[in-house]
Structure 1
Amino acid sequence: MEEHKKRIIKAIAYIDNNLDADLSLEKMAGIAMYSSFHFHRIFKLITGETLQNYIIRKKTEKSAFYLAVKKDIELKELYLDLGFSNHSVFSKTFKKYYGISPTAFRNSAPETFHKILQIQSKNGQMDTVFSQYICSIENLLNCTKMNLKIEVKELPEMNLAAVMSLGIANVEPSYNILIDWAKKKKLFPRENVKMMSVYHDSFKVTPPDKVRIHACMLLDKNLEKQEGLVFPETIHAGKFIVGSGEVTLHDFEKCWVSLFLWMNEHHYSIRKAFPFEIYHTNFREHPEGKMIVDFCIPVH
């Protein structure tokens, strides 16, 4: 099963980086080195959904994320960049998934920072409900000022060892796999080791059981090739909004929402890269469960 997961991880990474490219069953099976028949079955076994459903979901969720955080992006630029053939196909797909048009979503989501909840309706269909976040915008801004030191800075390239997690429940097991690997390589424990989480999906647009998070460790040099379920990942140098503070696990969502709100208030725009967290201390070693964290958003 580990070998199957390794190949599917490769396919998923390709999909994520090439949403506008040929993502046919035959193409993806070739990348994962399976026959089309076996790839289809194994992909569904590991991810819980078919290749086609996964690709459509990723495209739609990615479009929702950028609609929420990039006010200046044109709809045509967005849907062509994500591989939708035309506006009609994009709008129909988006509305089927979120229940409203892309334009209505853009007008509702970013300014008020509503949290998207998908609930089961009486007829068995998924309805999208917008419920206001627990804090008002004013409180979120105050929360930011109190708990996070926010800076815009240039960060260097970071070479990571990563383990993919599909679903929030699988994050801790992914870290266990990473740490076991690091112990064998004598990379853990060591002084000033930095663990990180890279978010390849947003909880605002992706269900918690499908969100993709990479459990990562910062390395001194690049990992040359995939080793079992551990694979190399690079965060390229660039400009980031960095919110730093001592927080508990329960504060994480509020911190992220606050940071994205700060980004909009200061007229920054997110780059097409992934937000991440850097952990400087371990919450398990603090009597109140606190940890020092950097919350990082790539911007230009």
Structure 2
Amino acid sequence: MEEYKKRIVKTIQFIDNNLDTELSLEKVAEIAAYSPFHFHRIFRMITDETVQNYITRKRIEKSAFYLALRKNLTVKDIYHQFGFSNHSAFNKTFKKYYGKSPSEFRKLAPENFHKIQNKESKNGQIDTVFDQYICNIENLLNWRNMNLKIKVTELQEMNLAAVMSLGIANVEPSYNILIDWAKTKRLFPKENVKMLSVYHDSFKVTPPDKVRIHACMLLDEPLKKQEGEVFPETIEAGKFIIGSGEVTLHDFEQCWVSLFLWMKENNYAVRKVFPFEIYHTNFKEHPEGKMLVDFCIPIH
């Protein structure tokens, strides 16, 4: 099973980095070094969806994210970028996932993107729900001012050891795999070791059981090759919005929402690098379950 997962990790990274190209089953299976038939079965066993469904979902979710946050791109720019041959095919597929056309979605998204959720309705159809957030904007901003210190700064390149998690429920097991690996390398426990979560999907456009999160550890030297389920990952140097605070796990959504609102208020644009969290303390060691966290958004 570990060898299967290792190859699937490699394949998923390839798919996500090549959503703008032709991704046939044969081509993707070749990356995993399996026959198309064998690969299709293994991929579905590990991810709980077919290869084609995964590729289509990723293209639509990335399109939704760009429609909401990349206003410099036209709808045509976006669907061409993510491999759709024409507007009709893109429109039909997008509606299947979000219940609205791309143009309708874009009109609603500017003021409501922080409230977007994919939700299973009673008849099983997926709808886009612009529901009321747990607190209104004014209260959210007050909470942000009380709990987060925000700055814009340059960060150097970061070399990470990572373990992939598909679905929020699998994040803790991924960290356990990473820590076990780090112990064998005498990298853990170690003073000032930094753990990170890198978000390769947004909860606002991807269902929680499909979100891809990498459980990561910051390294002094880059990891040269994949070792079992642990693989190298790099966060490129650049400009970031960083919101820092001592919060509980329950506060994480408010932190991210308020930080993206701050980004919008201050006219910054998100960069094509994945947002991440840096943990400076362990919530399990705090009597109130709090931890010091940096929430980092890459920007231009």
Q: Distance in 2 between matches of 1:83 and 1:20?
A: 5
Which residue of structure 1 lines up, in the alignment, with residue 102 of structure 2? 102
SS at match of 1:296: strand
Task: After superposing the two structures, state which structure 1 stretch, 194-203 or 112-121, moved more.
Answer: 112-121
Summarize deviations over 1:190-217 as a string: whole Å, max 9, x none.
0100000000011111111111000000
- For residues 242 and 82 of structure 1, the distance between their equivalents in structure 2, rounded to whole angstroms, comes to 29
1-structure distance, mates of 2:56, 2:226: 27
Number of the residue aligned with 2:121: 120
Matches within 5 A, 1:215-254: 215-254=215-254
Deviations 1:9-67 (A, max 9, x none): 00000111110112100100100000011011101110000000000000111111122
What percent identity do the matched residue pairs reach? 75
Are the counterparts in 2 of residues 94 and 101 from structure 1 also a CA contact under 8 Å? yes
CA distance in 1 between partners of 2:227 and 2:81 (Å): 32
For 1:175-199, what per-residue CA distance to the aligned partner results, in whole angstroms no more than 9, with x for missing partners?
Answer: 0000000000000000100000000
- 1:206-241 alpha-carbon deviations (Å, 9 max, x no partner): 111111000000000100000000000000001111
Aligned partners of 1:288 and 1:150: how far apart in 2? 23
Q: Is the 8 A contact 1:121 1:127 kept in 2?
A: no
Q: Distance in 1 between matches of 2:288 and 2:80?
A: 48
* Residue correspondence of structure 1 range 48-197 to structure 2 within 5 A: 48-112=48-112, 113-122=114-123, 124-197=124-197
Paired residue type of 1:108: L
* Alignment check: 8 A CA contact 2:118 2:126 kept: no
1:68 to partner: Cα distance: 2.1
Give the Å deviation of 1:69. Answer: 2.3
Runs ≥4 residues deviating over 4 A: none
Q: Give the drift of 1:96.
A: 1.0
Cα distance in 2 between the residues matched to 1:198 and 1:239 = 16
CA contact (8 A) 1:195 1:217 kept: yes
For residues 112-158 of structure 1, the C-alpha deviation after alignment (integer angstroms, 9 at most, x for no partner) is 33231412333x33333321211222222222211111111110000
Q: Which moved more, 1:59-68 or 1:179-188?
A: 59-68
CA contact (8 A) 1:241 1:298 kept: yes
Matches of 1:243 and 1:150, distance apart in 2: 4
Contiguous gaps of at least 5 residues in structure 1? none
2:116/2:128 contact within 8 Å kept: no
1:246-279 CA-partner distances (Å, limit 9, x unpaired) = 1000000000000111111111111111000000
Looking at structure 1, the residues matched to 121 and 75 of structure 2 have their Cα atoms a distance apart, in angstroms, of 29
Number of aligned residue pairs: 299
Contact 1:115 1:133 in 2 (8 A): no
- CA–CA distance in 2 between the matches of 1:260 and 1:144? 11
Contact map agreement 2:118 2:206 (CA 8 A) in 1:
no
Name the structure 1 match of 2:4.
Answer: 4
> What TM-score results when the alignment is normalised by the length of structure 2?
0.97
Q: CA deviation at 1:80?
A: 1.5
Gaps of 5+ in 2: none
- Report the RMSD for the aligned CA atoms in angstroms: 1.1
| Deviation (angstroms), 1:111 | 1.1
- Cα contact 1:119–1:129 (8 A) shared by 2: no
Deviation at 1:71, TM superposition (A): 2.9
Letter in 1 for 2:206: T
* CA displacement at 1:169 relative to structure 2: 0.4
Q: Which amino acid aligns with 2:121?
A: Q
3-state secondary structure, aligned to 2:179? helix
